Amino acid sequence: MGYSEQALLFECETEKLIGVLSTPAVGIAPASIAALIVVGGPQYRVGSHRQFVLLARRLAAAGFPTLRFDYRGMGDSDGAPRSFEHAEADIRSAIDILLSTCPSIRTLVIWGLCDAASAALMYCSDDQRVSGLVLLNPWARSDASLAAAHIKHYYRARLLDADLWRKLVSGRFDWRASIRSLADGLSAVMRRRTIPAREPTASAPFQTRMAAGWHRFGGQILLILSGRDLTAKEFVEYARSSGAWRDWLGKPNVTRLELESADHTFSDLSEQRQVEDLTLAFLSRIATGA
């Protein structure tokens, strides 16, 4: 099969976490870099349509040990449910067990989808063992960012929808409710205050802490965005408008790619394989220093 797997039980602040480590099969030389798949919530280490399982096995078969795990309160791990905003200790414990189990590994890449990507950004700059990030459709939602994304992407598409105009002519469309919704969205956007770029505190909004991680992280960042995902569009709108994210694509260590037909979880098999290919190429580039 090209890989082997083992379950890992490890501690995080006195509670037990469960993970599955995929490693290269005998005869396949392991690389000096590994991958850690951080799980977004609410789900567990298998992922939507087994995405994390298939990704971990594909990476391991190519020589990259890969750990996917449940942080506290998720899946089979102990503890009370927690938000991605408070997953730092869980990520650190997973990195500890990954490197101790695979002593030949010197560095690793964190891979995260949605709020797992957000958690990775809030964590990455405080751990020198992390040399890369693969971030898919990061979560940066606020009332204002959701309203801005709806106005720019949803309402524009609706105006070009022939079915909408047929309903309007026939009287089957509640245009008053739509106008109220649009007005509420515009109001939220107008109330938005640009967050200044400064060193965030632990109590700062998570979007500000994400921005700090983005700017402070010295490793490579691969940003993969889905073309048919409001979360991805919302992230882009937020980053473009917030002072904390200034020049967010200007860093030489950032590569941005968009899969135009992909949905939020890359549920189409061909797009899922494309994400795997991009992740493999990214790991290989870091491993060879290219």
As a whole number of angstroms, the distance between CA 62 and CA 33 comes to 12
Res 122: pLDDT: 97
Res 145: pLDDT: 54
Res 203: pLDDT: 72
Res 97: pLDDT: 98
Residues 6+ apart with CB under 8 A from 35: 56, 59, 64, 65, 66, 67, 108, 109, 110, 111, 279, 283
Res 40: pLDDT: 85
**CATH number given to 3-141+197-288:** 3.40.50.1820
- Calculate helix-pair angle for 206-216, 115-124, nearest 10 degrees: 60
Longest dimension (CA), the chain: 69
Q: What is the DSSP string of 203-261?
A: TS-HHHHHHHHHHH--SEEEEEEETT-HHHHHHHHHHHH-GGGTTTT--TTEEEEEETT
Res 231: pLDDT: 95
As a whole number of angstroms, the distance between CA 15 and CA 11 comes to 5
Res 184: pLDDT: 55
166: three-class secondary structure by DSSP: helix
**Token pair recorded at residue 122:** 């809030």
Q: φ, ψ for residue 3 (rounded to 5)?
A: -150, 160
As a whole number of angstroms, the distance between CA 34 and CA 102 comes to 9
Res 189: pLDDT: 45
| Cis peptide bond N-terminal to 42, omega within 30 | yes
Domain segments of the chain as ranges: 3-141+197-288, 144-190
Res 196: pLDDT: 45
Number of neighbouring beta carbons within 10 Å of residue 34: 28
Res 141: pLDDT: 87
Which secondary structure element, helix H or strand E, spans residue 109, and what is its range? strand 107-113
Q: Which of 32, 24, 238 is nearest to 147 (CA)?
A: 238
Residues 6+ apart with CB under 8 A from 269: none
Q: What is the chain's pLDDT, residue by residue, as a tens digit (290 residues)? A: 799 999 999 999 999 999 999 999 999 988 999 999 999 878 899 999 999 999 999 999 999 999 999 999 999 999 998 899 999 999 999 999 999 999 999 999 999 999 999 999 999 999 999 999 999 999 998 766 555 555 554 555 555 556 655 655 666 655 455 555 545 554 544 444 444 445 566 678 999 999 999 999 999 999 999 999 999 999 999 999 888 999 999 999 999 999 999 999 999 999 999 999 999 999 999 999 85
Res 192: pLDDT: 47
